[in-house]
Structure 1
Amino acid sequence: MLIETAIVQFIETLRQSGRASPATISAYGHDLFAWSRFSQQRGQTEIAQIDRRSLRAYLMAERSRGVAIRSLRRHFAALRALYRHLQHDAPELRNPVQGLAMPRAEQRLPDWLTVDQARVLMQPTSTPGAAEDQKDFIRLRDQLILELLYSSAL
């Protein structure tokens, strides 16, 4: 089966099933046709010609073009969904997506307080009219929570 034919059938099945939003269907179509163009440039026009190496090459090429990891994960999800659909109709079909690792999401480091910010945060707060027990309790509670978070590096 031609790659483009498989994609058209898959997108149509998604539309008819109602299991995916129009935005997802559009994104999957965009991603899968981009993969189809990449495969055609490599001389692969049939689904049976696709292997793990060619899928990995596609994902790496997209990454080198500057595609964000989040978008690559969507490309991967579209390919995985396409091959699940194809295997539903033809269980004997080899699934090159199976066993292929999804691109890892970028992990951002958390922002931290400067020394001065930590000092200000840890200074006892003075409440006007501190005679009220309730306000004293809340102030002490808040300070204890901050001390605990700071000392345990949370």
Structure 2
Amino acid sequence: MDLARALKEYVAYLAVERGSAANTVEAYGRDLARYTTYLAQQGITQPAQVTRADVEKYLQALSSIELASSSIERAISAIKGFHRFMVAEHLCTSHPALDIPLPKKPDRLPDVISLEQAAALLDQPFLQTAASQRDRTILEVLYGCGLRVSELCGLDLQQVLLADEVLRVYGKGSKERIVPIMGTAAQTLHEYLELWRGGLVHPNASHASASAVFLNARGGRISRQSVHSIVEKYGRVAGLTGLHPHTLRHSFATHMLQGGADLRVVQELLGHSDISTTQLYTHVDRTHVRMVYMGAHPRAHS
């Protein structure tokens, strides 16, 4: 089996046997298509032909086009997984990428908005139309529950359990978690479902779309791109230029920690498999505490 065929088998393995998220499968497939194309240009078409030197030359080529370290890290992870799969399937005996290190991640804190900015975003006036009330609900749920955009777009009616004040959310790798929804977010979602969602339903919509919580103007499931545009639009009105949906997720986590939530609880709410990912938000929280201290303590400035 050549590399091109092995790649197709690996992508199918990720989607079916590993149950990887669709976005992950697509990104890995794209990264590995570029990798196998490069190898083919070097005359390498069989799994057993690939050496560590070949992998290193490819990664040097990626670095030369100034890809972000996160993109290179994902490419390395994809290559490692691909070669591990080929060894397991007995397509070759060696793993040329086994001990290639991942690039060091830069220490970059996530973007967050303040409590005042969150209030300005969510308390702005919304039109009494189905589309505007849908937009308002999207903002409330993103900030109130800390969902990823893909999780929000994939939310179905049967996953909304307002009587129990929870959402059943399917995150990365189709892992299910229970997320509380209370207060303004719960009230807004209830009003949207009872009063406004029906105005977006289209009689010719597919069965899959009919079960979606958030619908577009044609009655289909709303897309990630549309949610990005909605968040940016209302952010701009509130004076928050370039607001991103993930910023609302970051802000949810940071404001929870500022309010005294336990780190493990926030990890569970966000659906992080590794606590170290959640710990990044403690750095943001410490930055907030320092700013408050500097502004409030009479002897904070020498």
TM normalised by structure 2 equals 0.37
Give matches, 1:9-24, under 5 Å. Answer: 9-24=9-24
Q: Matches of 1:26 and 1:55 in 2, distance apart? A: 21
Give matches, 1:42-81, under 5 Å. Answer: 42-81=42-81
Give matches, 1:82-121, under 5 Å. Answer: 82-90=82-90, 93-108=93-108, 120-121=295-296
With a CA cutoff of 8 Å and minimum separation of 6, indicate the structure with the bigger relative contact order. 1
Question: How many angstroms does 1:122 deviate by?
Answer: 3.6
Q: Matches of 1:101 and 1:18 in 2, distance apart? A: 24
Q: Is the 8 A contact 2:32 2:75 kept in 1?
A: yes
Question: How many angstroms does 1:51 deviate by?
Answer: 0.9
Name the Cα RMSD after superposition. 2.9
Q: Matches of 1:78 and 1:94 in 2, distance apart? A: 16
Query: 3-state DSSP class of the match of 1:67?
Result: coil
Q: Matches of 1:79 and 1:46 in 2, distance apart? A: 15
Structure 1 unmatched ranges of 5 or more: 125-146
Q: Matches of 2:31 and 2:44 in 1, distance apart? A: 17
CA 119–7 in structure 1, closer or farther in 2 if over 3 Å, else same: closer
Matched, 1:123 2:298: yes
Matched, 1:38 2:38: yes
Question: How many angstroms does 1:16 deviate by?
Answer: 1.6
Structure 2 unmatched ranges of 5 or more: 110-282
The residue aligned with 2:199 is none
CA 94–120 in structure 1, closer or farther in 2 if over 3 Å, else same: same
Q: Is the 8 A contact 2:87 2:93 kept in 1?
A: yes
Q: Is the 8 A contact 2:47 2:91 kept in 1?
A: no
The residue aligned with 2:200 is none
Q: Which AA in structure 2 matches 1:82?
A: F
Deviations 1:81-139 (A, max 9, x none): 112211222186100011111222223599x9xxxx98655426xxxxxxxxxxxxxxx
Query: 3-state DSSP class of the match of 2:96?
Result: coil
Q: Matches of 1:86 and 1:7 in 2, distance apart? A: 9
Report sequence identity in percent. 23
Q: Is the 8 A contact 2:44 2:50 kept in 1?
A: yes
Q: Matches of 1:52 and 1:73 in 2, distance apart? A: 17
Stretch deviating more after TM superposition (10-19 or 54-63) = 10-19
Deviations 1:58-81 (A, max 9, x none): 111111112111011100111111
Question: How many angstroms does 1:18 deviate by?
Answer: 4.7
CA 66–23 in structure 1, closer or farther in 2 if over 3 Å, else same: same
The residue aligned with 2:5 is 5
Deviations 1:16-64 (A, max 9, x none): 2152000000000000000011111112111111111111111111111
Query: 3-state DSSP class of the match of 2:107?
Result: coil
State the aligned residue count. 123
Stretch deviating more after TM superposition (62-71 or 92-101) = 92-101
Q: Which AA in structure 2 matches 1:123?
A: P
Q: Is the 8 A contact 2:48 2:91 kept in 1?
A: no
